[in-house]
Structure 1
């Protein structure tokens, strides 16, 4: 849903949003809800960025980026924007994940129901790990909830200290005991939060199969689980027993379509095929110039595209080149995270040794964590670090046509495989156009290892290499998180300490959103909400 061209493109609006990904649209929706005029400029002909769905194969609704929505369902965004009223419907992914059987153990099936999950862990891994998992969920649920709350507020040193100091401790617990004991407990908690995911898993569990499943769940953010401060990425699994991942009916892009309807209903405007070329001054306000030569003036500009793109736009608009160069040199984009393979098939994958008490759709509502030991993850990450393709890709399988038949033609299915890690550039100089077929074959072979016969069922295939993700979706370096999600680029360090409060020093009125900013990548809507509410407050102050 896009608005027709304006007859007066120079009309001053309250806000111009650069980038129509889901965070840019969330920001625009908050402005519209508050009665502000807003215009969104998106370079692509398809709005939504990595949260969009198209007909990649005849009769199939294929996601271009994300598929499962894990975090936005734990946020205030859907309710505050009344997205259900404009058609957004989520299906609960239950089971929400599973780890396939090995030669010596059965599968682990993660259900919303904690008792059912623990029963599955007990069958596969033994009673000790089942009891440990129950304690793990009880311990990490309040911690993960506190972290989630911090994601939807601007990042400040105080909030960082709170998130990594006292989160997860109740007021009663914090007050209990002498000062030295309280301090010791908080330091111990901080140490656990700052530890690696692998260290956390080794403290809690014995089964390598369970450790591998949880490590792979946590690694979706990008950093390997032996990196510092990756423990909370695993801790988010505890929240899935409160609200599981959701599958938007009709595809991931259904979220974008709901946001477009919300913006339209509140008088906002979204222009596609409108490539921004500069962000500069427009008298006392700001102007975004587009490739067609038009200038779009606003009291506020929210740049919700990649931070490197934003810096280029500011440079073109006359901003301090030396300062932009310093920021650019200190932001680590990384070398890519992975690639996706989309398959149109006759059948769903058939995994072995699944229990008989599953719902009719089996495990196909969940994330198929296709690893059985952490060495598999480490080898894949190590290969990418030196610019090589992994001998065995580490894959997540998703078969959501089992719960949403609208995604594929009758008697057909849509399967998405996400594989980490794959570098943006290959060390031997091989181009991705030459490597795509081989890399896609290797990813499908990994699914075949766990679901024999699925290869023969494939009728359509489409590989999204890191290079393709960069060119189609504007993901610089093929990094779906925009910039690395390492601890030195999170919270008040993301994407740079100077830019971490979603503003640009020296450019009052230019706000930042998108995966480059706090809290990072994934379908959260968080940075869009932060920037949108900041823009509303700013226009309120100016009106006063």
Structure 2
């Protein structure tokens, strides 16, 4: 299979996983070419200035870090920092709410529920998930354990049953009794995942598991400098090791005879072909199938609504016992009581936008103000990122006009629901751009599909899998039916989130580890 040029490895896609793989392989002495369709690397893990004339570099699509192992940072010598948020979460209810963090958790539980019982249950439940995290997280950069091996490693039958065998709703309802507390726990099972708490497929359990095992602690940290700081560091590490990175180069076909492969790509009006000992695809399983000319897998469907905002100041809350700097420093839950989440799910399952959209919000600049230019920081400006739940792609289908109309309706409803917990309308706090427009942008799943190539706008490229191997997964969970072609994106086993794990594991597979 002749080609114009040849490399040990060609990586299709310059997102963070592709850059991790490129850095590992180049450091091992392999010749590496990265082909990136867009004009810059980073994929969904980028920082941009979306508002004209506003010097705020937002993490536009993905924004917090939990699943990136210290091993990858150390191995690749990354100069990249994350900071722990002082508050885990705040959830308003009426004129009060639940604050988790800053040494106020127990008192906040008691004030909300009138006793210590829910706090004790909370400590017991998250003590168990932390023990699971300590045992599972190190396995993400090892060859896949079997189900029995992982079960033995966890060595906690109650936790195994709650997370791996029964719908997470069973564990939540058995352990907690307050609707708000139940809802806060459930949210980790629904990030980007459209499911009921009792879905028999356990897709919600898989989502929950990845949200509580990160770093062996479950903590979600703020990337200093924004998410683009991570991918800039990864691109720098790959280039320093000798990898070539070609942006504006779109792969259009992969051919393989089993032992080698070649990639046809388009740059401008010209098509070229490059050969490789291995091709690593940092894209979705759907894109991989299309490149190979094979039948595409079942359609994926994202379920999230992303809103980025720049504010002149933080809004005041109805709950005067909590400073806005505390409430927005962690994750602020809006409309995420257990009953509210169930109602929003029913709305969406019936084909309607949720009438009271649930969402969660955080303020990057309270932990890391470096993403603001000196002028904005000095004036007290802040960024807010909102992530809406139970908004599957099907609700925006019907073409651009339908997507645009649904986006605007959902944005209005989401901000209105946020206003319900504020002492003033959020719109009064929006900064304006150079054209006098409010600094607020919203992205539906179909927007993410168009802009980033995410199938159905699914941020995980498809339903997450449990972190153990089966007869079909291969040694590392990145293997395909073609020995010369590997999957190193979020659709690999143990993919999803900003982790670098699929990139690491694909590199290890190439290196015969």
TM-score tier after normalising by the smaller chain length = 0.7 to 0.9
> Which residue matches 1:479?
458
* TM alignment of 1:18-167, pairs within 5 A: 18-57=12-51, 58-72=54-68, 74-84=69-79, 88-103=80-95, 106-111=96-101, 116-125=104-113, 126-155=115-144, 158-163=145-150, 165-167=151-153
| Greater helix proportion | 1
Residues 480 and 302 of structure 1: CA distance in aligned 2, closer, same or farther (over 3 Å): same
- Of 331, 342, 352, the residue aligned with 1:367 is 331
Give the Cα–Cα distance (whole angstroms) in 2 for the partners of residues 449 and 77 of structure 1.
42
* TM alignment of 1:81-480, pairs within 5 A: 81-84=76-79, 88-103=80-95, 106-111=96-101, 116-125=104-113, 126-155=115-144, 158-163=145-150, 165-169=151-155, 186=157, 188-193=158-163, 194-222=165-193, 223-228=195-200, 229=202, 230-231=204-205, 233-234=207-208, 236-237=211-212, 242=217, 244-281=219-256, 285-291=260-266, 292-315=270-293, 324-325=294-295, 328=296, 331-353=297-319, 355=321, 361-408=325-372, 409-410=376-377, 411=379, 412-426=381-395, 429=398, 431-453=402-424, 454-458=426-430, 459-480=438-459
Residues 433 and 243 of structure 1: CA distance in aligned 2, closer, same or farther (over 3 Å): closer
- What whole-Å deviation, never above 9, does each CA across 1:263-302 have from its counterpart, x for those lacking one? 1111112111110011114896321111131222221110
> Which residue matches 1:501?
477
* SS of equivalent residue, structure 1 residue 425: helix
- What whole-Å deviation, never above 9, does each CA across 1:125-184 have from its counterpart, x for those lacking one? 3311111222223222121222323333344xx522333x33432xxxxxxxxxxxxxxx
> Which residue matches 1:5?
none
Give the Cα–Cα distance (whole angstroms) in 2 for the partners of residues 308 and 493 of structure 1.
21
Residues 21 and 136 of structure 1: CA distance in aligned 2, closer, same or farther (over 3 Å): same
8 Å Cα contact 2:136/2:216 also seen in 1: no
Give the Cα–Cα distance (whole angstroms) in 1 for the partners of residues 30 and 214 of structure 2.
35
8 Å Cα contact 1:99/1:108 also seen in 2: yes
Residues 362 and 377 of structure 1: CA distance in aligned 2, closer, same or farther (over 3 Å): same
> Which residue matches 1:3?
none
Q: Which sits farther off after the overlay, 92-101 or 387-396?
A: 92-101
Give the Cα–Cα distance (whole angstroms) in 1 for the partners of residues 428 and 215 of structure 2.
34
> Which residue matches 2:5?
11
Give the Cα–Cα distance (whole angstroms) in 2 for the partners of residues 82 and 146 of structure 1.
25
Give the Cα–Cα distance (whole angstroms) in 2 for the partners of residues 26 and 343 of structure 1.
30
Give the Cα–Cα distance (whole angstroms) in 1 for the partners of residues 213 and 159 of structure 2.
17
> Which residue matches 2:509?
534
> Which residue matches 2:434?
none
* SS of equivalent residue, structure 1 residue 521: coil
Give the Cα–Cα distance (whole angstroms) in 2 for the partners of residues 493 and 433 of structure 1.
42
CA RMSD of aligned residues (A): 2.8
8 Å Cα contact 1:151/1:526 also seen in 2: yes
Residues 99 and 295 of structure 1: CA distance in aligned 2, closer, same or farther (over 3 Å): same
> Which residue matches 2:433?
none
Residues 54 and 476 of structure 1: CA distance in aligned 2, closer, same or farther (over 3 Å): same
Q: CA deviation at 1:530?
A: 0.5
- What whole-Å deviation, never above 9, does each CA across 1:363-387 have from its counterpart, x for those lacking one? 3331212235212112222333343
Give the Cα–Cα distance (whole angstroms) in 2 for the partners of residues 216 and 333 of structure 1.
24
8 Å Cα contact 2:67/2:214 also seen in 1: no
Give the Cα–Cα distance (whole angstroms) in 1 for the partners of residues 325 and 415 of structure 2.
22
- Stretches of 4+ aligned residues off by more than 6 angstroms: 238-241
Give the Cα–Cα distance (whole angstroms) in 2 for the partners of residues 13 and 254 of structure 1.
28
Give the Cα–Cα distance (whole angstroms) in 2 for the partners of residues 486 and 281 of structure 1.
27
Give the Cα–Cα distance (whole angstroms) in 1 for the partners of residues 484 and 396 of structure 2.
42
Residues 500 and 425 of structure 1: CA distance in aligned 2, closer, same or farther (over 3 Å): farther
TM-score (norm. length: structure 1): 0.82
Residues 20 and 366 of structure 1: CA distance in aligned 2, closer, same or farther (over 3 Å): same
- What whole-Å deviation, never above 9, does each CA across 1:465-513 have from its counterpart, x for those lacking one? 11110010111111111112376xx75479x7589831222x2221111
